[in-house]
Chain A
Amino acid sequence: MSSAVLISISLGYVALLFAVAFAVEKWGRSGWLQQRSGLVYALSLAVYCTAWTFYGSVGRASLEGLDFLAIYFGPTLMMPFWSLLVRKMVRLAKDNSITSVADFLAARYGKQQGIGTLVALVLVLGIVPYISLQIKAITDSFMVLTTGQIARDVVWYSDPGLLTTIFLFLFTILYGARYLHGNRPKKGMVTVIAFESLFKLTAFLAVGIFVSFSLYRSPADLFQQAAEVLPNFDDLITVSSGKGLTDWFLLLLISGLAVVLLPRQFQMAVVENTNEQDLKTAQWVFPLYLLLINLFVLPVALAGLLLPESLPADYTILGLSLESGSGLAVWVYLGGFSAATSMIIVSTLALGNMLSNNILLPILIQLRKEKSMHKRIVWTKRISIGVVLLLAYLYYHNLALSETLLSIGIISFIAVAQLAPALIGGIYWKNATSKGAWAGILGGIFIWFYTLILPAFASDLGNSLWITPTNIAQIQELTPTSNAIIFSLLVNFGLFAGVSLYSSPSASEKTQGELFVDVFKFTNEQPNRYISSAHFPSLKSLLIQFLGGKRTEEVLDRYARMHQIDWKVNPQADSRVIAYAERLLTEAIGPASARIMIASVVQEEVLSMQEVVSMLQESQEVLQLNKQLKSQSMQLQKLTSDLQLANEQMKAMGLLKDDFLYTVTHELRTPLTSIRAQAEILLDTDDITDEERNFFLSTIVKDCERLTRLITDVLDLEKFESGNQKMQLTFEQLPELVQEAIDSTQNLIKTKSIELQVDMPKDLPKTYLDRDRIIQVLVNLLSNAIKFCDTESGKIGISVYQINNKLKVNVLDNGQGISPDQETRIFEKFYQAQNQLRLKPTGTGLGLAICKNIITHHLGSIYVKRVSEGTRFSFEIPIFNSLQHFIKAYENTLQKDFDRG
């Protein structure tokens, strides 16, 4: 494959990353992704799997068999503790505006610069070679694909690794270090990292499936052939014993620690976490991811060993994918590329942040001459990122990386593990002191250097030393790796614990210890370590210096609005404001520098530990009290709103009558307006044609009819509502009345050619009812059905039947129907008139209200239901076979109403 093509493909992939980040930053994650922040978070954690995983696992598997699995079993076994630790760290990072491991430890150990600087140095030392490794992987895989072998000396200007490094630098400063405040969510970058995780996984699975099922018939076939050909087959498919086994268990430990402590893991898991709930998803998705990406490592390694020509072990996977053609090979190359780039992006961001907050910014602040720093801070961050990448590139370019991918990775892991005692101890042990942390980290890193780095640079020097670096205790059973892990961690932990016990923490360390260990107890209640006050303008100018004028105004405004403070009235900033300002500064320049800057404008009195703790306890009590008060006031609120409701109901009863009158007059005015206008037109227009005249006259007549109907209905209703309605009860056969109603609407039914279905038995019992009123109800329901049934092929069904001691009538039409919320309201007065959207009602809007009144006076019920065929109005009335029964039941109902009302 030509290098020009491959370079364009790589650049295309980088452009895709830019596009994804750009789109997510600009438009946010779209619906589907938004719902799955947990998944994106979990996938972004898979930045753990670098090129070292992608290429190196196969490399190591072909040399040493299953040993590589330790790197993934470690984190998997760690998961239960991981979620406990990370939950605590996330909470602490959010509460304290922390953006890196170095800041985290600096904040824990009394916000002192020294410890942050130490941690930053250790991590730069430990991780830069690891980043070089990724650049090397990019260059090597590129060379393997274009020339078939790893090139020893690549000239810098033709090095794809350098080109990639430059683009990644741009990406990281654009989407990672865009803002001053480092804990602002970087959705674009996180989504890109998650995307890359998915990409490298699919690439690896693709080549795995190709090897297992296409190159060989099945995995079983592959294993069988390997067993026949390879002399060391048994070693490859078992975890090594003896020396190797100790190594293996120690690697579990180291990688379990790395998944918490690695700067890129801290960045993704802690700094970029937006929701603690996401940890739950990550807890199973991340181990699942590790399982999947390792599924085919052994088959691929075995297949690589069976190949006739030998490639460098680390790039077996590329060689194998070439067997299927260049398509799969490019996919795999991009998979490795994505693994390398995601690691580089996140690691340089994290390291750059540490470098700037803990090394460069403190120097800059010491030297500060200018008033305005905030632009410089962003640039310092960007320059730091550039410095990290440059260091990594120089390391890669100048120190021939002779080791395989895996061993540099492990050296890196061991360096990072040196932070474990100080960090884990720091959040679970209140007595841990900064002196202890210093001693532990320095001791551990010294042993690390002595046992792993020294021998590599000066192997002959090692032998002349009093203590053999590669085997400190002269135990034959230990490999150099085990030797380094055991002694560095032992010395580290011993010094950390011992010095902590024998040194006394400063006041601020003690407070921070209390806060860090008991973070869940004190959440949201940032206690004040100082009784402090500051002149507000000087605090503000300090913020402007570091955050810029615009952002300062913004955040102070927000704070003032939230706490209802007017700065002009009260120029004195209290402890809370100062704590807030300190948090803001921490976002920009890290906790230690922020502390120094705040102290420069604040008069404060440091409180003793007892005072702080008692303040915290007090605030806990206040919190409790607050809770009780809140629940009481909520009860009161509920009572008040209940009362209000009752009051409004009573008012509404009175208003109802007024309302009704008002609506009635409005309804009367409408036809009146029309009549008057037309009459005046007839009167005033001279040149009117006969046709026009007749038209107006007939409209006037129609409007008069409408007016009459309205008046009749209003009076009708008034009679019922005032109780003046007299019922004319007679003993009737209900179906006969139904037939009468049908007869009176027959004409309309015919002219609209509606299909009418009637279903009523002849032998229903007779009952006492008001004949005319029931017919009125039936006609009303029928006319409604005629009006609203389907205009093309209208259908109306009427059925009458007996249920228990009641007669029921259904009138069903196949019209558009009504919505559920209308089902009860439709019987209200003028409901139709006020709510009909498309057609102006031709009726008065009172018909159904009258029907309801009539049926209620028959002690029955009327209701409407939307059914699949259309709309069904039904009413049911009890059967009374004697007048006395009716009257007695009627009076009982009235009595009940009376009691109730």
Chain B
Amino acid sequence: MKTPSKKILIVDDEPNILMSLDFLFRKKGFDVFIARNGSEAIQILNSEIPDLVLLDIMMPDVDGYEVCVYIKEKETLKATKVIFLSAKSKKTDIEKGIAMGADLYLTKPFSTRELTSEVERLLTHA
């Protein structure tokens, strides 16, 4: 019996990055959802329970921090992992991201190899 594919939600306001990551994780056999900003992400999170969320921080209207808070506060999303992908590269930024309950914080530009291996690690451990 085939296990159902893992769900992943990618949130970024940069279309090229979104497109690349979408392609990347589809190829790896994930069920991919994409959101171009925070409010779209929250809309999707209202109906879907992704196993993992890749989250940009600096976005217009609802930013990545707010989406992260939303995920952490929602009972149904308890098992959902969060990885911040951000150009904010200061030490304080990273600490803040982890303090908000993210499982990982990768600074842009990140390596896709590192990203995919971290994603798989997080999802198999779970």
Contacts and interface: CB of A to CB of B under 8 A. Distances in A.
A675 B15 CA distance: 12
A528 B17 CA distance: 74
B27 A699 contact: no
A681 B109 contact: no
Interface string B89-126: 11000000000000000011111110000000000000
Size band of the interface chain B makes with A: 20 to 34
Interface stretch (B1-9, B18-26, B42-50, B70-78): B18-26
B107 to A, nearest CB: 8
B113 to A, nearest CB: 7
Interface string B51-87: 0000000101100000000000000000000000001
Contact of A681 (B13, B23, B90): B23
A662 B108 CA distance: 14
Given A666-B87, A699-B16, A835-B60, A673 B110 contact: yes
A671 B20 CA distance: 12
A678 interface: yes
A631 interface: no
A782 B19 CA distance: 30
B95 to A, nearest CB: 17
A673 B111 CA distance: 9
Contact of A678 (B13, B16, B88): B16
A703 interface: yes
A669 B89 contact: yes
Contacts of B88: 666
Size band of the interface chain A makes with B: 20 to 34
A837 interface: yes
A837 B60 CA distance: 5
B17 A673 contact: yes
A684 B16 contact: no
Given A680-B111, A681-B112, A836-B60, A670 B23 contact: no
A607 interface: no
A681 B20 contact: yes
A175 B21 CA distance: 65
Nearest to A840: B13
A677 B60 contact: no
Contact of B87 (A670, A676, A677): A670
Contacts of B108: 669-670, 672-673
A202 to B, nearest CB: 52
B15 A669 contact: no
Nearest to A835: B60
B41 to A, nearest CB: 15
A685 interface: yes
A809 to B, nearest CB: 31
Contacts of B109: 669, 672-673, 675-677
A687 B108 CA distance: 26
Nearest to B20: A677
B61 A840 contact: no
B113 A680 contact: yes
Contacts of A684: 112-113
B112 A670 contact: no
Contacts of B14: 670, 673-674, 840
A666 B17 CA distance: 14
B20 A674 contact: yes
Contacts of B89: 665, 669
Interface string A434-455: 0000000000000000000000
Interface string A702-715: 11000000000000
A836 B58 CA distance: 12
A701 B125 CA distance: 38
A837 B62 CA distance: 10
Interface string A646-670: 0000000000000000100110011
A821 to B, nearest CB: 16
A665 B93 CA distance: 15
Nearest to B14: A670
B111 to A, nearest CB: 7
Nearest to A836: B60
A170 B113 CA distance: 78
Contact of B17 (A665, A670, A696, A835): A670
A684 B23 CA distance: 12
Contacts of A669: 87, 89, 107-109
A668 to B, nearest CB: 8
Nearest to A686: B27
Contacts of A840: 13-15
Nearest to A838: B60
A703 B60 contact: no
Contacts of B24: 677, 681
Nearest to B108: A673
A669 B24 CA distance: 20
Nearest to A670: B14
Contacts of A662: 90
11 contacts: A666-B88, A669-B89, A671-B16, A674-B14, A676-B112, A677-B20, A677-B21, A677-B109, A681-B20, A681-B112, A838-B60
8 smallest CB-CB distances across A and B, nearest first, come from: A669-B87, A673-B109, A674-B16, A673-B108, A677-B20, A680-B112, A676-B109, A672-B109
Given A666-B58, A699-B16, 5 more contacts: A673-B17, A674-B14, A678-B20, A681-B23, A703-B16
Interface of B: 13-17, 19-21, 23-24, 27, 58, 60-61, 87-90, 107-113
